[in-house]
Amino acid sequence: MDRRRCVEVMIAACVALSATGCGATGLDFRSDNRLSIISPADRAEVAVPFLLQWRLRDPGDQDSAFAVLVDVSPPRAGASIIELLPPSQQDVATCDRTCQSQALLARGVTVTSADSLEVTVLPRRSGLSADRARRHTITIIVLDDQDRRVGEVAAAIDVDEVFR
Amino acid sequence: MTDTGGVHRLERVRGQMHDRAREMLGVGPGVVTGGLVGEMRVSGSRWYPLLALGGLVLVDRAQSFAVFVLGPEIAGGTGVTQTQLATLVALKTLAIAVAALPFAALVDGRPRRALIAITCGVVWAIATGGTGLATTFWILLFFFVLDGISTGAVVAVHQSLLSDSYPPTLRMRVISAYEAISSAGNVLSPVIVGMAVAWWGLSWRGVFLIMGAVALATAVYAMKLRDPGFGVLDHQRIREAIRADVGPNRAAPDVPLRFLEASRRILLIPTARRLLAAYAVIGMAFVPMTTYLFFFLDFRWGLDVGGRSVVYAIMALAQVAALLGIARPFQSRFTRSPRAAIRLASWLLAGSMAAIALMVLAPALWLVVVLLCIGFGLLAAVTPAASVIGMTIVEPQLRPILAALAGIAYAAIGGLGGVLLLSGLDTRLGPAGAIAAIAVPGLLCAVVLRSAESTIDPDFDRLVDAVVEREEIEVLVESGTSLPLLSCRGIRFGYGPIEVLRGVDFTVQEGEIVALLGSNGAGKSTLLGVISGLNLPSAGTVRLVGGDITYIDAERRSRMGIVQVPGGKAMFGGLTVREHLEAYAWSIGANRREVSKAIDLAYDAFPTLATARDSMATLLSGGQQQMLAMTTALIRRPRVLAIDELSLGLAPMVVAQLLDFLRQMNADGTAIVLVEQSTNVALSVAHRACFLDKGEMRFDGPARELQGRSDLLRAVFLGVGSPFESRPASPAVTDGANRKEHPSP
């Protein structure tokens, strides 16, 4: 294959790739900073229980609830929060809404329509140094009425747990 | 070579050319180096290859660093966990390490490095832009691995291409500048991210799309890169100098090394092994330690992402400054003596490790930053020195492979090995302990690198001699001088620290039978192994009709006509006589008719094998087994047949049969090297005899003359000490008729 042909193939691959990307929905190419955490501050030292507060500016039509995730990565845009559960708990036939809510709580995910939450427990982590074991990441995302993530808007802070 | 005039001419030219060739490789008192800009102008070199390749590596480094900077946003946007993100980075590192060797294989002996560099530049652009469009872990995985694979090309071809684009006097500084541009990517990355986020309000996806566009523009800029060919500015000039001095050129008789042979050959170079150890430590420091440094700056000094990015940018600036500042001292030391460059590199490595270890104890943040700048600056400065030294001690065609091996040492051994080592230490000691602990392997590696002081000059001289010898052999061929069928020159070989062959010279002419004699442990069988390719020497060359086959696989040598019949039972116990003969006949690619013909030939040579055709080889008598071994050699139609212990434990009548067989093979054109304990047997058939003693060739002359040397023969028969030990040193005797006696040193 000569150089010209090689470049043509690469450009074609580039275009094809871009086309597949266009099929995805909810990709934010601009920063969405509407959601922010008011307290505690990033990298603050906290002891349970503590109050977590946040604010959403200019809520959209779809925005109806929040998910607070402790040491859990959020689902991708458009995906349901239920996808964070094991497959056996995602089917309402085997695990109803109450069961799913409890399972989410146990996993460190709380769904709420309020703009604050009292965090009463932080997970214990093993296999890490002491400093890193007490570091927790709290992420808040916006959900629609079907518990699906709205766009890629998110706010996250790290907190260091202190024990009294 | 055996033509005395040819040998003398070769030795004379080698002596004359040695210093000049060193200077052409950029080493010697006659080499003058100036500033980078002035030297560029004087040498007529263009900036374009440096800028084009530098641009490519800059965008790659910026993209890689952007993953660190934007990691949390990527994880939040795609739903991957931090662990998955770390896994992606590790897999990318693995892809870099794994892909480097195949890319080196792609350019093995074929000058298409520029095409690969450009193509991979376009692939980076796709991978970078694609990362911005990824929505799941698996899509991210695809683009990270794609990026890693194409980065493997950087490792394998960029520095080799730069080496061949600039003369040796510029290389250290050009490669330092290239590394400085690469490090500048770490400074630019947070700046680009910051600008894109703050000014244009872009998300991480937007940043990656922009970076993909920049990468594509850089790849387009690099489109005019061309591969200048291997060694055009060093080895080719040495060859041209020899041709100008002595005569016109002729096609090279060398047998090109295959990829794995070339890789193995590099690993046999002591300095190369030491440099690879240094690369592993540098990889350990740069790949996993970067992560632990993040944690250390976070937990010990409370720096957030912004603060850590600033520290990293300052460190990168220090690396740029170190690379640019230390390039000239390195170049001048290297020009004076490669040993001085090695010494400086080892001190820098030790200094960098000490600074990094001390950093964890620093009581103030400013001191932490200063020590990090010193540590990582010095470490970065070692890289171009190691690269140029490595490129100087291997043939130009092997440079991409050396670079790929260095990439593997850096990414796989240092990077991934370091992750395993440091993660365990991190759990027990925390990030500070893990970082400090790396000083232990780092300082050990500095000692290993320092030990290359004793190996660099022999390795460099070996290369210079090889280039001169190769070219001179072409000239000898052109002038009509006949070359020996097989020649070994300056062979050194050891089993671990025990050196068995110490600079052995050995030749075999067409149609000759040479007896290789010596007491037990003299190195006879080892030398046969070197000839047949079972043993690879640490120094010296093996040539077949002038073509260098020193590092060719035994299997390829067998097809080239060098066949060895090992001592003892040279057969497969589970096969019958006929199956043996069939297996060997098929192994040379014969068709059914030729197989049948070869088997008939074997049965004609030894009718006793025909009667035992269906017997298992293990059930044959000792004589029959040796006959079978001889016929398997006959089937392969060797040009050189090396036999280890023909007569051991056999009846005189059987030995006589075997000797007749050998004479017949020899009469049909096969040269024979016969290692024998029985001097009577050996000298009854040999034209020439060589006597090895403690790894050195003591006698090389007509067989009948050795029969008169009772002192030597006693050593063989009685196993007494060396006959040379009690004799005073005397000048070597050469009667001009291929007889040499080598005195004890």
Contact B202 A31 (CB under 8 A): yes
Residue spans of the domains in chain B: they are 4-25+46-237+269-461, 472-741
Residues 78-107 in A contacting B (C-alpha not used; CB under 8 Å): 79
Cβ atoms of B641 and B671 closer than 8 Å: yes
Locate the chain A residue with the closest alpha carbon to B135. A76
Question: For tokens 């006693």, what's the residue?
Answer: B714
The pLDDT value recorded for residue B118 is: 93
Count of CB atoms situated within 10 Å of the CB of B538:
16
- Each residue of A73-98: pLDDT tens digit? 888 888 899 988 888 888 878 888 88
B122, B135, B431: residue with CB nearest A76:
B135
The pLDDT value recorded for residue B417 is: 82
Q: Which of B88, B118, B135 to mutate to test the interface with A (most CBs of A within 10 A)?
A: B135
A10, A29, A32: residue with CB nearest B209:
A29
Contact A18 B129 (CB under 8 A): yes
Contact B133 A130 (CB under 8 A): no
The pLDDT value recorded for residue B527 is: 94
**Chain A contact for B203 (CB, 8 A cutoff):** yes
Distance from CA of A153 to the nearest CA of B (A): 8
Distance from CA of A102 to the nearest CA of B (A): 21
Contact B126 A75 (CB under 8 A): no
For residue A20, is pLDDT > 70?
no
* pLDDT confidence bin for A116, thresholds 50/70/90: very high
Distance from CA of A98 to the nearest CA of B (A): 24
Backbone φ and ψ for B727, nearest 5 degrees, come out as: -95, 140
What is the rounded distance in angstroms from the CA atom of residue B560 to the CA atom of residue A6?
A: 38
**Chain B contact for A151 (CB, 8 A cutoff):** no
CATH number (3.30.500.10, 2.60.40.10, 3.40.50.11540, 1.20.1250.20) of A32-161 reads 2.60.40.10
| Radius of gyration from C-alpha coordinates of chain B | 31
**Chain B contact for A76 (CB, 8 A cutoff):** yes
Spans of chain B below 50 pLDDT: 1-2, 246-252, 719-739, 741-745
Contacts of A18 in chain B (CB under 8 A): 129, 133
Cβ atoms of B339 and B457 closer than 8 Å: yes
Q: Which range has the worst mean pLDDT, A7-11, A158-162, B254-258? A: A7-11
A28, A42, A127: residue with CB nearest B427:
A127
Alpha carbon distance, N-terminus to C-terminus of chain A: 69
Cβ atoms of B66 and B124 closer than 8 Å: no
What is the rounded distance in angstroms from the CA atom of residue B556 to the CA atom of residue B548?
A: 13
- Taking Cα atoms as reference points, which of A163, A140, A136 lies closest to residue A43? A136
The pLDDT value recorded for residue B4 is: 52
A14, A21, A152: residue with CB nearest B77:
A152
Distance from CA of B125 to the nearest CA of A (A): 9
**Chain B contact for A10 (CB, 8 A cutoff):** yes
* Helices B270-286 & B365-392 angle (0-180, nearest 10): 150
What does the DSSP assignment read for B685-734? H-SEEEEEETTEEEEEEEHHHHHT-HHHHHHHHH-PSPTTTTSPP---EE
What was the ipTM of the complex prediction?
Answer: 0.76
Locate the chain A residue with the closest alpha carbon to B223. A3
**Chain A contact for B77 (CB, 8 A cutoff):** yes
Residue spans of the domains in chain A: they are 32-161
Cβ atoms of B177 and B168 closer than 8 Å: no
What is the rounded distance in angstroms from the CA atom of residue B740 to the CA atom of residue B12?
A: 19
Contacts of B123 in chain A (CB under 8 A): 10
Fold assignment, B4-25+46-237+269-461:
Growth Hormone; Chain: A; (1.20.1250)
Q: Which of B73, B115, B120, B122 to mutate to test the interface with A (most CBs of A within 10 A)?
A: B122
Contact B76 A74 (CB under 8 A): yes
* Helices B305-336 & B288-299 angle (0-180, nearest 10): 140
Contacts of A32 in chain B (CB under 8 A): 203
A42, A76, A131: residue with CB nearest B304:
A42
A29, A128, A156: residue with CB nearest B206:
A29
- Taking Cα atoms as reference points, which of B483, B490, B638, B482 lies closest to residue B545? B483
**Chain B contact for A20 (CB, 8 A cutoff):** yes
Question: For tokens 């960098």, what's the residue?
Answer: B352
In a 10 Å sphere around its CB, with 0-12 CB exposed, 13-18 middle and 19+ buried, how is residue B492 labelled?
Answer: middle
Distance from CA of B90 to the nearest CA of A (A): 19
CATH assignment of B472-741? 3.40.50.300
